[in-house]
Amino acid sequence: MIVTYPFSAVVGLDDLKLALALNAVSPRVGGVLVRGEKGTAKSTIVRALAAQLPSVDVVAGCRFACDPAAPDPGCPDGPHEAGPAGARRPAALVELPVGASEDRLVGSLDMERALTEGVKAFEPGLLAAAHRGVLYVDEVNLLHDHLVDLLLDAAALGTCYVERESVSVRHAARFLLVGTMNPEEGELRPQLLDRFGLTVEVRASRDPDERAEVVRRRLAFDAAPEEFAARWAAEEAALAERIARARARVPGVRLPDARLRQIAAVCAAFEVDGLRADLVTANAAIAHAAWHGRDEVTTEDVRAAARLSLPHRRRRDPFDAPGLDESLLDELLDQTDDDTPDDPTDGGPGVPPNGPPEDGPGPADEPGPGRSNGDGSEPPAGKPRDNAQDGANQSDHHQGSDNAGESDGEVAMVAAPYRVPLLEVPGIGEGVAGRRSRSRTAHGRATGSRRPSGRVRDLHLTATVLAAAPHQAARGRTGPGLVLRDDDLREVVREGREGNLVLFVVDASGSMAARKRMTAVKTAVLSLLLDAYQRRDKVGLVTFRGAGAETALPPTSSVEAGAARLRSLPTGGRTPLAAGLVRAAEVLRVERLRDPARRPLLVLVTDGRATAGGDVDRAAALLAGTASVVVDCESGPVRLGLAVRLASRLRARLVPLDAMADLGSVVRDHRKAV
C-alpha cells in the first residue's frame, strides 16, 4: 500500500510517488521507469498503485475490456453498442515476466481451436489484459529487445497490432506502463529509455531511524495483515479519491502559450533529441496542475514535469549515467518565466540575446555543466579531455623495459571509441538472445522443424499439418476438425544471434605503459565494450601487472561498470602474462557453472611479453577450446612477434591494435574472415 511506506526511508520515493500519480491522472504521460538498487521497494509501491486506481466499467464478456460508454469499433470481440455498463471491476494489474514469449505478450492464433474446429480465432495476450489498467515489467532491462520494442510501440500508440500466423488483429491497448530495473544488471538502450515518459532514481536511506521504521511497519504487517490494512484504509481511500478528481480535471486544464514556450526552451537548452521530451513534459505538467487542483499550468508544474521527464533523455553516450542539473533547470525557468513573447532577434525562446547562459550546455563537442555525467566522473568516451589527446600525441617509449613510459600506477586517458569488427564465437550455440554469435534461439528466423523433446513452445503449424494429413482416413476423421496425435506435433527450429560472455584480459604492465600506446589500448577496449553493449553481451575484465592478475570486473551485464573500471585502470610494473591467463581460466570455469548456455569469448589485449609469473604455455593450455582473440599491441619498427606466437598457442584470431579501427570499417565485406 502506497501511503503505508515511509518515503523518507528511500531517497527518491517521493518522486516515484509523484511520477506514478501523474501517470494515473493522465496515461498520456507515457509511463514510468524506476531505476534503483535492490531492496528499495520498487516492486512494492508499483503493485500498490493498481489498488488506488478507479474501478472501470467494461462490456460484459469482452476479453479486451472495452468501455461501454465508448466501445472500440475495431474490437475483435465486437462490434459493441454503446450503452450502460455491463460490468464493473478494479483496474487490472498485469505483470510481464522477463521470460515471456512474443505470443504471450501480443497474442496469437488459438491453435487448439484452429486444429480441432478448423476455425481461425485470436487468443489475446497480456497487452489486451492490461488495457485500461497497469502493465508492470520488473527488470525491464533484462527483457528481450524485440519484446521491449513491441511493448513500447503499443504504449505509445495505444493500440496493439498483431500480424502473424494468418491472423490480422488490431485492438486497443491503453495502459499505465511501469518498468523497474537495477542499473547494476545493465542499462536500457537510449532509444528505449526515450520511450518511457518519466524516470525516477531511488536508493535506500542511510539514516538508521528511517530504516528502522520500514522494518517496524513490515513486522506489523506480517503479524496482522488485516489490522494493518484497516489502519491505513482511510488514507488509501483519500489517495484514490484524489486521483479520480484529478483525472476529471485534466480535460479542463489550460496550457498557456508562455508555459509551452518555456517547456520548448528547457528541452532545447538541455539538447534532448527529438520532440518526444517536449510532448511528455507538456502532458506531465498538465497532469501535475490537475493533481494540485489548478486549472492552468504554472512554472512550478513545468519544473516538476521537467525533473522527471528529462534526465534519461540527456544520455548522449551509452556509458553516460542519466542525470539533470537542477540549478541549470531553475536558471532556465527563471529566464523564461514571463508571459510575453521573446524578441525574435534573441537566441530563441528562453535564450538571452547573447546566447545560452554562461553555465549552460556548451557546444556539442565540449562537456559542460549541462552535459556532465552528473556524478563527477569522466566526460563521455566520445568527448575526451584535452589532456587525453595531449597524452596520445606524446612519443612512444621503448618497450624493452617494464618500467618504460608511465610510472607504476599512473592512469592513461581514453580517446573516442570507434567501430570494431564483429568478433564471433564459432559454431551455433543455444544461449540467450543477443546480437553476436549464431545461435538457435526462440526469436530468430525459421530454418526448419523438429519433433519436440518436451512441451511444444513454438508450434510449426505447417509441418504439424503435413505430418498429420496422410493419416486422417486411417484415424476415422469425419468432421472438419483435424485428428491429431502427439507424434504429429512439430516445433519450429529457429536460428538467430546470441549474447556471449566477453572476457577482456588486459596487459597493464610497464611494457604497455607508454602513454600513446596505453591510450590506444584503452580506446580499443572501450570500443570493444561499446560493441558488447550494443550486442547485449555480458562482460568481465581481468588485468595483469606487477606481481599478478586481478579480476577488475566480475562477469556482469553492466557494460557501463566495465567502462568505468577501464578508465581508472592503472599501469606499470612487470608483465605476469601467465598469471593473467590463469585468472581468466578460473573466471570462465566459474561462469560456466553459473550460466552454462552462455558461450565465452576471450579477448586478450597484450604485446605478448612475459617477464614474471610462471609458464605461459601451461597457462594457455587451461584455455584450450575457448574461442579467443588476441589484440596485438606490439609497435615500433622492430617487432618480436610474441603476440603472434601466443595467438598460435591459444588457436586464437590475431588482430593488430593499429588495424582495429580499419577492420571495423570493412567488416561487412569480410564476415568470413571474422
- CA triplet 203, 138, 290: central angle to 5 degrees? 70
Task: Return the H-helix or E-strand segment holding 116.
Answer: helix 111-116
Length of the chain as a residue count:
674
Strand partners of residue 571: 410
Terminus-to-terminus CA distance in the chain, angstroms? 55
Q: Are 432 and 479 in contact (CB under 8 A)?
A: no
What residue has cell string 566495465? Answer: 562
What residue has cell string 570455469? Answer: 589
Among candidate residues 47, 211, 231, 276, the one labeled active-site is 276
Residues 6+ apart with CB under 8 A from 270: 310, 313, 314, 324, 328, 329, 361, 370
| Cell numbers placing 150 | 513491441
Task: Return the H-helix or E-strand segment holding 258.
Answer: helix 257-269
- Nearest 10 degrees: Cα torsion 289, 291, 292, 293: 80
Strands 176-181 and 32-36: parallel
Q: Kindly state the greatest CA–CA separation across the chain.
A: 88
The alpha carbon of 507 is separated from its chain's Cα centroid by a whole number of angstroms, namely 31
Residues 6+ apart with CB under 8 A from 258: 338, 339, 340
Residue 593: CB atoms within 10 A of its CB come to: 7
Tell me how far CA of residue 301 lies from CA of 58, 253, 282, 298, 522, in angstroms. Answer: 33, 12, 9, 5, 45
Give the phi and the psi of residue 325 in degrees, each rounded to 5.
-80, 100
What's the number of CA atoms in the CB half-sphere (13 Å) around residue 304? 23
Radius of gyration (C-alpha) of the chain in whole angstroms: 29
Query: What letter does residue 321 receive in the DSSP assignment?
Result: P
**Cα torsion angle, 182, 185, 187, 193, sign:** negative
- Catalytic, 545? Answer no
Tell me how far CA of residue 10 lies from CA of 15, 202, 215, 308, 476, in angstroms. Answer: 10, 7, 13, 17, 67
Cα–Cα distance between 119 and 106 in angstroms, integer? 20
Cα–Cα distance between 42 and 57 in angstroms, integer? 29
Cα–Cα distance between 319 and 559 in angstroms, integer? 8
Strands 87-89 and 56-58: antiparallel
- Secondary structure of residue 328 in the 3-state scheme: helix
- CA triplet 559, 190, 30: central angle to 5 degrees? 130
Strand partners of residue 506: 543, 605
What residue has cell string 498483431? Answer: 162
Query: What letter does residue 81 receive in the DSSP assignment?
Result: -
- Secondary structure of residue 232 in the 3-state scheme: coil
Cα–Cα distance between 447 and 563 in angstroms, integer? 37
Q: Are 77 and 62 in contact (CB under 8 A)?
A: yes
Strands 93-95 and 134-138: parallel
What residue has cell string 569522466? Answer: 378
| Cell numbers placing 551 | 579480476
Residues designated as active site: 276
